[in-house]
Chains A and B, each alone.
Chain A
Amino acid sequence: MSNKQQPETIEKAAPWLPPKQSVRITINGTQHQLELEPWISVLDMLREHLQLTGTKKGCDHGQCGACTVLLDGKRINSCLTLAVMHDGSSVTTIEGVANGEELHPVQQAFIDHDAFQCGYCTSGQICSAIGLINEGKAKTPDDIRDLMSGNICRCGAYTNIFKVVQEALERSKAQ
């Protein structure tokens, strides 16, 4: 065949949806078997497919931290990762932080220190604080401020969030 084909209009393919894939994921201790399109983020999986709306969408670009959850114990921005990448993983969201009716000490401290106002960044702040304590990297007050800086609080509750994390770190050291 000649290379010099007559130019012809190429039929543009009609847009299509990506096929769904199976994902097995444990969320707050409960195993879920989901059929999800690969373009669904962990954040949207939680909010739109499992009605776990405690995890918040504040930018969808990893710039605000409102969507922070614990993935296998590590804090991540759940908007920046796709659900299908986490087959077999375990996620803890704000809904799974408390022990039944008993609040996690960090949750209770958020209330006692009034470390939130509108409450929209709070789930992410709490998950981030728990993640930070797990990491064990924060040694100084400035470390705390730096390592909590991925979570924006537009209401400006930072000094109270700082107090919560500082106390929690002291508590975890004492244990």
Chain B
Amino acid sequence: MTMKTDYIGKPTNRVDGRLKVTGQAKYAAEFDSPGLTYGFVVSSRIAKGKIKSIDTTEALQLDGVLQVFTHENRPQTAWFDKSYQDEDSPPGSPFRPLYSDEIQFSQQPIALVVADTFEAARYGATLVNVTYEDAPFSTDFEGNREKAYTPEKYKSQPPPDARGDMAAAFASAAMQISEEYTHTSEHHNPMEMHASTAIWEEDGTLTIYDKTQSVQNSQKYIDQIFGLKPKDARVRSPFVGGAFGSGLRPQYQLFLTVMAALELKRPVRVMLTRQQMFSFGHRPATIQKLQLGASKEGKLEAVRHEAFGETSRFEDYAENVVVWQNVLYQCDNVAFDYKLIGLDVYTPLDMRAPGGSTGQFALESAMDELAAASGINPVALRLKNYTEKDQNEDAPFTSKELRECYRQGAEKFGWEKRNPEPRSMKEGHQLIGWGMASGAWEASQQQASAKALLTVDGKLTVSSATADIGTGTYTVMTQLAAETLGLQLEDVSFKLGDSALPDAPLEGGSWTVSSVGSAVTLVCDAIGKRLLKLARKVKDTPFATAGYDEVIFSEGHMRLRSDPSKALAVTRIMRSAEINYLEEEVTSKPAEKQKKYAPYAHSAVFVEVRVDEDFGTIKVTRVVSAIAGGRIINTKTAESQILGGVVWGIGMALEEESLMDTTYGRFMNHNLAEYHVPVNADIHSIDVIFVEEHDEIVNPIGAKGLGEIGIAGVAGAIANAVYHATGKRVRNLPITLDKVM
């Protein structure tokens, strides 16, 4: 019996689910090799200065310790900054592990102890005796505001140009909101710590299992630094235990692992500790100044959005923090600025919806303040200022069903029953607050390649060097390939996470489905076209004169679109042609027509909080997130992406803060007991709605990425709900109980 082969839009279980629930999915630190050695990183205790001396004698005396690498004995590596730059590097001079005696940030890796057991390496690391020469430093973000600067070059885009006359329009506006919003640094903290395992193959090449969002980015990085050729070292990453941006840049454990493997000619594994997960990229602390001028009726007349973002002394990291009013609300008199504050810390790094979750927290809080001040329903205020154009690019949207998000989200939540008065809704000691916010995130498409191999037994293998960091890439690509060629899911396998596969962009920016998905569809169509050519020659073929747009594939058969009963089995077509396999490789690029449009996913988030009147404890009891994300390929994994984004928003709003001790220049709470992320008890009802959105422009498959839109706006909606519950407007995240007491 043939099974249906339409999968797109269906709730489909993850194809890698069985591997994950049985413990068979293998992550970077789980590949073994005879004679495997373990590296343990020694981290700097000071934030800035020099290593005066580093004595490894005692560590080397320990049985089992093979070598201690420091700046004094490390092998020669590349000379120029360019060699240390990767696909996600901000402008500047990237950190070079073990390069010299200079300390640039607290917890900087200063030595790697390699031993034949993990425990010996860990003990050995405590035996490395280091003396330091301290230098003056500053890690005080607020305290360095006066020294904020405009970078020569912005990592992403410079702040948008001003339009109209913001100052004059603001001065004459009937309603004026002028406030400052802040949040601290936050760390990604994927469950799997960053790790790499380098294994020597029999042919003398290296296979490196790395925790990364791009095997090819990792491969290029080590090739450049160690002078390797792509064929010398293959990077693999079949499973990634979360990343959320932390794997967008090669982290230092990769450098250290490869260095040690090359020097010792042994297989090496380095896994960072949880504490060391606080030693590299993070969401930058940010200060935002928002000014909104509006008419009494709530029409925006002036907007100024300025931000100060944290960066390191050696790279200018910047995000798109101030662009969001231009995407969400129409206004003619606007001005923007984004300055950096350099500190003696590691460079910040993209973390789930970088810039968006930050900027939209401030913008959506300010909009709520405007709604409260002018007595307008927050949803009505947003509808009043709805924009049909992205004012950053002065371009129409590829699609925008945000109105429908507001409508369906409000209806599901019961928003019309909201009493606008703060502290008006109460149950016992619980103050109940309802808040909402809008969200937006880019839905871009990048160039991507894919290969497909169809064998005569009807099995299809599709591959691309992308990643699945929990997002569902394996599953969604399998669905797209299976549906395009009318095969059963079980007959299709998708390979990723291998630098030898066709080129794929970094797995980030919510562009994997649109980019790699488009390539997968295109390559399957290329196979389909080859099949059609062969099918025309089959005896008694119904396809003698059919063009490709006149055929469909389903249930293992090629069929005439006009009469699907006229069909040939794919396996029969290949057998008739006496062909064992068909292979195609394609590169898919964004279409020219996209350039005239702005691609964005949108959301409307509605939140209920309950705040204990006596203790100030805050619980998010209900969230409705209505998403306009184009065509949804897998409603099950798509919903999970949004659920995860909402949970991240709850963490950002109420829990997550990396607390900087400015005396020692280090994050104090560098562990999972003191860096709070949401746990099961923090999460209650979350409803996800996908509103229907047809988009013929955004990319060939009409899907918008969902990895980041789920967090957009959530922190703002929670802050607004907390205001509604308590009457207190908290403008610095996280909103901990002390701030509402």
Interface residues of A (CB under 8 A from B): 12, 14-17, 37, 39-40, 44, 47-48, 51-61, 63-64, 66, 93-95, 97-98, 103, 107-108, 110-112, 114, 116-123, 126, 142, 144-146, 148-162
Contacts and interface: CB of A to CB of B under 8 A. Distances in A.
B426 interface: no
Nearest to B269: A48
Given A118-B242, A156-B645, A51 B32 contact: yes
B20 A119 contact: yes
A61 B669 CA distance: 14
A154 B191 contact: yes
Contacts of B647: 156, 158
A159 B683 contact: yes
Contacts of A16: 62-63
Given A37-B117, A44-B118, A110-B21, 8 more contacts: A15-B62, A16-B63, A57-B29, A111-B14, A117-B640, A148-B681, A155-B470, A158-B643
B23 A53 contact: yes
10 contacts: A15-B127, A44-B118, A57-B271, A114-B636, A117-B472, A152-B677, A154-B191, A156-B643, A156-B647, A157-B644
Interface residues of B, number: 72
Name the residue among A55, A126, A157 with the largest chain B CB count within 10 angstroms: A157
B274 A63 contact: yes
A120 B21 contact: no
The 4 A-B residue pairs with the shortest CB-CB distance, nearest first, are A54-B23, A156-B647, A120-B241, A118-B470
Contacts of B201: none
Contacts of B61: 14-15
B600 interface: no
Contacts, number: 200
Contact of B191 (A44, A112, A120): A120
Given A63-B671, A119-B239, A146-B681, A154 B190 contact: yes
Name the residue among B14, B22, B641 with the largest chain A CB count within 10 angstroms: B22
Interface string B634-651: 001101110111111000
B610 to A, nearest CB: 13
B13 interface: yes
Name the residue among B16, B61, B677, B683 with the largest chain A CB count within 10 angstroms: B683
B411 to A, nearest CB: 21
A159 B684 CA distance: 7
Nearest to B127: A15
A152 B679 contact: yes
B68 to A, nearest CB: 13
Given A58-B193, A58-B274, A159-B643, A17 B63 contact: yes
Contacts of B64: 17
A122 B274 CA distance: 18
A153 B21 contact: no
A17 B120 contact: yes
A15 B62 CA distance: 5
Given A55-B23, A120-B242, A159-B683, A114 B640 contact: yes
B25 A119 contact: yes
Interface string B171-210: 0000000000000000001111100000000000000000
A123 B22 CA distance: 7
A112 B13 contact: yes
A59 B192 CA distance: 8
A148 B682 CA distance: 11
B683 A145 contact: yes
A66 B241 CA distance: 11
A61 B117 CA distance: 19
A103 B18 contact: yes
Given A149-B679, A149-B680, A154 B189 contact: yes
A56 B119 CA distance: 17
Interface in B453-508: 469-472
Contacts of B127: 15
